[in-house]
């Protein structure tokens, strides 16, 4: 069974490892520490092992998903879906969710579309390594 919860300081080494193995060009450790302090770092666990995490920022009744990463050995097991669904349940004040996704990341786009997100715009040359457009997606809650 997948469970979701807010991260604690003791969880940060596992988060760093999952992040580093997923994409070495993403966030630095201090970004995760700031997310932890602001209670914006959310985890998925399976059999008491941290398997995925998400970083959100909420302002009033809107939230933006900044990062969602799953340990490669747990991909396609519903971890990211569980994080999104649990976030919506736990944050009923949120009426709209936003995110950016690489245009070429079809797996992520499929996940988001299954969760009710739809494309609302594009950011030219938003991503580096390689340079690529981002699609802006939104979900009403």
Question: Would you please indicate which residues are annotated as catalytic (active-site) residues?
Answer: 100, 112
Q: What is the pTM of this model?
A: 0.89
The domain tally of the chain equals: 1
**Greatest alpha-carbon span in the chain:** 40
CATH number reported for the structural domain that contains residue 84 in this entry: 3.40.630.30
Show the domain range for 36: 2-140
Burial 110-141 (b: 16+ CB within 10 A, else e): ebbeebebeeeeeeeebbeeeeeebbebbbeb
Measure the CA–CA gap between 64 and 57, rounded to whole angstroms.
Answer: 5
Tens digit of pLDDT per residue, the chain (141 long)?
A: 999 999 999 999 999 999 998 876 678 889 999 999 998 999 999 999 999 999 999 999 999 999 999 999 999 899 999 999 999 988 889 999 999 999 999 999 999 999 999 999 999 999 988 899 999 999 998
Measure the CA–CA gap between 81 and 107, rounded to whole angstroms.
Answer: 12
């Amino acid at each position: 069974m997948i469970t979701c919860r807010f991260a604690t300081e003791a969880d940060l080494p596992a988060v760093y490892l999952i992040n580093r193995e997923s994409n070495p060009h993403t966030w630095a450790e201090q970004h995760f520490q700031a997310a932890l302090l602001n209670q914006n770092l959310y985890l998925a666990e399976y059999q008491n092992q941290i398997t995925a995490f998400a970083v959100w920022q909420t302002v009033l009744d809107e939230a933006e998903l900044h990062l969602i990463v799953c340990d490669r050995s747990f991909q396609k097991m519903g971890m990211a879906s569980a994080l999104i669904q649990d976030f919506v349940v736990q944050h009923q004040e949120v009426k709209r969710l936003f995110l950016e996704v690489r245009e070429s990341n079809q797996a992520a786009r499929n996940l988001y579309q299954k969760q009710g997100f739809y494309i609302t715009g594009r950011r030219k040359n938003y991503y580096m390594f390689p340079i690529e457009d981002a699609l802006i997606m939104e979900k009403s809650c």
